[in-house]
Homo-oligomer: A and B are copies of this chain.
Amino acid sequence: MNIAVSRIEGFAQPGGTLSSAVHKLNLQQISNLNGVKRRLTKNSILLHEEDEIKHVYEVVSGTVKALKFLADGRRQIIGFFGAGDIIGLPLETSAFYSIQAVKNTVVLCYPISQLDAAMGHSSALTKFIFGLVHSELERHLDHMISLGRKRPKERMAAFLLTYYKKQLVTGVTDMVIELPMSRVDIADYLGLTQETVCRVLGHFKRNNLIAAKNSHEIKILDLPHLEYIAQSGVLH
């Protein structure tokens, strides 16, 4: 098994709605296992697509990206995982994608064998894992409809909102979101080119939907409008 899951807020949280309360659950607490700390420098690779999966990872700080390659070098980024997110699932098999550090990152490594055993004893842990799968699956479906049917502006708006909501859940009410990844990474996540990403962001800026302190810090000025674009994408 090999999946990556974002931090979950409560079990089996339906829809993309925001959780009212933050469950400060992490793998360490719920599994009673001690993850081994590992430091990753920017761009270093935690896992290759062909590798055998031996660990589940929990991001402590920093950000990593999960990505797949085509033969000619084209990339599709499956997801970004920041502090609190968990990557991988306790069932042995080869990897589906590579994992690479977006910037200097610290992760905790849990051997799959240990987690597997722990799941046998703890139904709470099993439920927790299923909850993670649930979140990740929902994320995949949203990503698919983005890639298949949304226009660049809608994809970008949805992307920004995802980050906004993610940090809302952690209690940060600031309208400034941090995008640690490069424009190329965003492009490879959204199925666009870096130029298109820039132009869409430029468009949002000119229309006062967002403002940019620098290229990695975006302030959301018009949340409702962005949500409108993200969902139906009528405006241009």
Q: Which residues of A does B touch, CB under 8 Å?
A: 1-3, 12, 14-15, 68, 70-72, 74-76, 78, 91-94, 96-97, 120, 123, 130, 133-134, 136-138, 140-141, 143-145, 147-150, 188, 190-191, 231-234
Cβ A93 vs Cβ B1 within 8 A: no
With contacts A1-B130, A1-B133, A3-B133 known, what are 5 further pairs, Cβ within 8 A?
A14-B94, A72-B233, A74-B149, A97-B141, A133-B133
Q: Given A144-B78, A148-B76, does the pair A3, B137 have CB atoms closer than 8 Å?
A: yes
Smallest CB separation, A207 vs chain B (Å): 21
Residues of B within 8 A of A2 (CB): 134, 137
- By beta carbon, the residue of chain B nearest A231 is B71
In Å, the complex CA distance between A178 and B18 comes to 43
Cβ A145 vs Cβ B68 within 8 A: yes
Residues of B within 8 A of A190 (CB): 148
Cβ B14 vs Cβ A134 within 8 A: no
Q: Pick 15 A–B contacts, CB within 8 A, sort by A.
A: A1-B12, A1-B134, A2-B137, A12-B93, A70-B145, A70-B150, A71-B231, A78-B144, A96-B138, A137-B137, A137-B140, A140-B144, A144-B144, A144-B147, A148-B188
Q: Given A15-B94, A130-B91, A134-B1, does the pair A144, B76 have CB atoms closer than 8 Å?
A: yes
Counted per complex, copies of this chain come to 2
Smallest CB separation, A83 vs chain B (Å): 23
In Å, the complex CA distance between A46 and B155 comes to 29
Residues of B within 8 A of A72 (CB): 232-234
Residues of B within 8 A of A130 (CB): 1, 91
Q: Given A71-B231, A145-B76, does the pair A12, B92 have CB atoms closer than 8 Å?
A: yes
Cβ A149 vs Cβ B191 within 8 A: yes
Residues of B within 8 A of A123 (CB): 120
Smallest CB separation, A153 vs chain B (Å): 13
A75 contacts which of B75, B92, B137, B149 (Cβ < 8 Å)?
Answer: B149
A71 contacts which of B74, B92, B232 (Cβ < 8 Å)?
Answer: B232
Residues of B within 8 A of A232 (CB): 70-72
In Å, the complex CA distance between A191 and B188 comes to 17
Cβ A149 vs Cβ B231 within 8 A: no
Q: Which 6 A-B pairs have the closest CB atoms?
A: A148-B191, A147-B147, A71-B232, A76-B145, A14-B94, A147-B148
